[in-house]
Structure 1
Amino acid sequence: MKFAISYSTPHYGTDPDRIIAFAQHAEACGFEGLYLPDHIALYPGAKVGDFEMPTTLPYPDPLDCLSFVAAATERILLGTGVLLLPYRHPVILAKRLATIDVLSRGRMRLLTVGLGTMPGEAAATGVDFATRGRRADEAIDVLRLLWSGGADGISFDGEFFAFDSLVSFPKPLGVPHLPIHIGGSSRAAARRAGRRGNGYFPGGMLSPNERASQLDLAKSEAVAAGRDPEALQYTRWGSIDMPSERVEGLAAEGVTRIVIGSTDPDTQLDEMSRFAERFDLGR
């Protein structure tokens, strides 16, 4: 089992010293990766599920924050949980992600993408909310083509994106393309993970039966797409106080990575240290 941790900017704030202290301590404790959340814009009445989002919550750009973190760390992997893929142009995104990967010496390896659930956020970026699933699928294909394409360039003619003989450098460090994990809490997300993802990171308040069904669906879609279902990584949320029995239960469900969610800002570093000691992360 691998353990990563999320830095919730709305919960912890955007003080640069706090962000760096958190990241460096997570690295010293032995956490595999650091995740950042994403929202491009909020508005009055915006909701995630039943929770109405306060409009003043600070959501800095997660990729800019990860670049900042990369410069102050050496080993910890960089992740998003989740990057709202339909609202970003994949040609620009391919360049940004590859640049972070190269400058961090190959650490932009926990990219998790999702669709977003707020129609106003889609409208603000000029995206038809109803098309965001198809747009995300196409964007994933474009990212991988650009990362793996050579000096002669690649061409693409899709519903949302089109270009001829396009060349994009730098490339991800030492790999044909960066891993792309799929986040979400729906069967559509599970299908996307099986067809196109390197991993599945479900969220939300799902029943155990629904979680199991979604994982089975992701694997069956992988088989149908001619992909290896056992290569699909399975990431789940956890808590800083989770007992070893809970970790063992998640492992039995096929979970390969646990991402620890928000902790108390006043005690977070000590809590991270105690968690690392309990699960021997530094071994």
Structure 2
Amino acid sequence: MEFGISYSTPFFGADPETLLGFARDAEEFGFESFYLPEHVALHPGAKIGAMALPPSLPFADPLACLSFVAAGTRRILLGTGVLLLPYHHPVTLAKRLATIDVLSGGRMRLLTVGVGALPGEARAVGVDFATRGRRADEAIDVLRALWAGDESGVGFEGDFYSFDDACVYPKPLAELPIHVGGSSPAAARRAGVRGDGYFPGGMLTAEERRRQFSLARTTAAAAGRDPDRLEYTRWGSLDMSPEDVEVLAAEGVTRVVVSPDSAEPGRRREVMAAFARRFGLG
């Protein structure tokens, strides 16, 4: 089992010292990875389920933040949870992600993508909300094609993205995994068909989680892919016990992502160090 830390800029702020302090503490205490979420644009009244999202929440750009973190750390892997893939053009995104991977020494390993849940956010970036799933599917294919392409160029012809003879360099230092986040059956199927891992949202029931991961695995098998190679990431908490983790491991979970409840350096280090001791990290 691997353990990651999530840093929420809306909760902890976009202060550079706080952001880098979190990442350095996570690296010091032996956490595998460091995640950031994304919202491109909010609006008054925005909600995800029953949770209101005040429009002034400081959702800093996750890739810019990860570049900053990479410069101030040495080992910790970099992740998104989640990057809203339909709201990025995949050609420019391929360049940005490969650049981060190169500059970080190959640590952009836990890109997790989702499709978004706010119609107003889609409108703000000129995307038809109803098409976001199909856009995400095409974007994943475009990213992989561009990273695998050589000097002869890559072509793509889809409903949303079309180009000829495109060459995008630099390349990632190794094949860049793409994990799929989301709580819907469509997200689970996308993970099975195209993903290297599945990271469901935090509001599902235990039975829903079981069904979703089973759907991801059966979809992978039907697509001729090895379901045992599909990583399974879940949200956890810093007060979870070894018994809690054993239950998750029995469900096939390969990674747990947690988040401290305080940005205060002393409290943050205290709870992270206790977690690291409990699970023998470092």
Q: Is the 8 A contact 1:5 1:35 kept in 2?
A: yes
Partners in 1 of 2:31 and 2:196 — Cα distance?
20
- Give the Cα separation in 2 of the matches to 1:160 and 1:260: 35
Please name the residue that 2:234 is paired with. Answer: 236
The aligned counterpart of 2:263 is 265
Which amino acid in the other structure matches residue 251 of structure 2? Answer: E
> Which amino acid letter does the alignment assign opposite residue 168 of structure 1?
V
Matched, 1:160 2:167: no
Structure 1 residue identity aligned to 2:34: L
Which letter maps to 2:226? D
How many residue pairs were aligned? Answer: 280
Structure 1 counterpart of 2:138: 138
**Alpha-carbon distance between aligned partners in 2 of 1:53 and 1:211, rounded to the nearest angstrom:** 25
d(CA) in 2 for partners of 1:9 and 1:152? 41
Deviations 1:234-266 (A, max 9, x none): 000000111111111000100000000342223
Match of 1:19 in 2: 19
The corresponding residue for 1:151 is 151
Shift of 1:33: 0.3
For 1:33 and 1:262, the matched residues in 2 are separated by: 14
CA distance in structure 1 between the partners assigned to 2:224 and 2:165 by the alignment: 28
Task: Tell me which residue corresponds to 2:10.
Answer: 10
1:172 corresponding residue in structure 2? 172
Q: Tell me the distance in 2 between the aligned counterparts of 1:186 and 1:269.
A: 35
Give 3-state SS (helix, strand or coil) of 1:259's partner: strand
Conserved? CA contact 1:113–1:181, under 8 Å: yes
What CA distance in whole angstroms lies between the structure 2 residues aligned with 1:88 and 1:217?
Answer: 27
In the alignment, the residues of structure 1 paired with residue 250 and residue 98 of structure 2 have an alpha-carbon distance, to the nearest angstrom, of 34
1:59 alignment partner, SS class: coil
Partner of 2:94: 94
Give the aligned partner of residue 39 of structure 2. 39
Matched AA of 1:80: T
How many Å separate the matches in 2 of 1:263 and 1:257?
Answer: 20
Cα shift at 1:224: 1.0
Instruction: Choose from 181, 199, 202 the match for 2:200.
Output: 202
Task: Give the corresponding residue for 1:249.
Answer: 247
Over the aligned positions, Cα root-mean-square deviation in angstroms equals 0.7
Could you tell me which runs of 5 or more consecutive residues in structure 1 were left unpaired when the two chains were aligned: none
> Aligned partner of 1:256: which letter?
T
Question: TM-score, with normalisation over the residues of structure 2?
Answer: 0.98
- Check if 1:182 corresponds to 2:168: no
- Give the partner amino acid of 1:93: L
Q: Write the mapping of 1:208-227 to structure 2, written as runs, cut at 5 A.
A: 208-227=206-225
Q: How far apart are residue 280 of structure 1 and its match?
A: 0.7
The answer for the alignment partner of 1:113 in structure 2 is 113
Greater mean deviation of Cα atoms: 208-217 or 68-77:
208-217
- SS of equivalent residue, structure 2 residue 78: strand
Contact 2:260 2:271 in 1 (8 A): no
Q: Normalized against structure 1, the TM-score is what? A: 0.98
Partner SS for 1:214: helix
**Equivalent-residue separation in structure 1 for 2:71 and 2:263 (angstroms):** 23
Higher deviation after alignment, 12-21 or 125-134: 12-21
Tell me which stretches of 4 or more aligned residues in structure 1 moved more than 2 Å.
none
Q: Distance in 1 between matches of 2:150 and 2:270?
A: 47
* Mapped contact 2:18–2:263 kept (Cα < 8 A): no
> Percent identity over the alignment?
65
CA pair 44-262 structure 1, distance change in 2 beyond 3 A: farther
Q: Distance in 1 between matches of 2:261 and 2:105?
A: 29
Residues of 1 paired with 2:271 and 2:137: CA distance?
A: 38
- Specify the alignment match of 1:57 in structure 2: 57
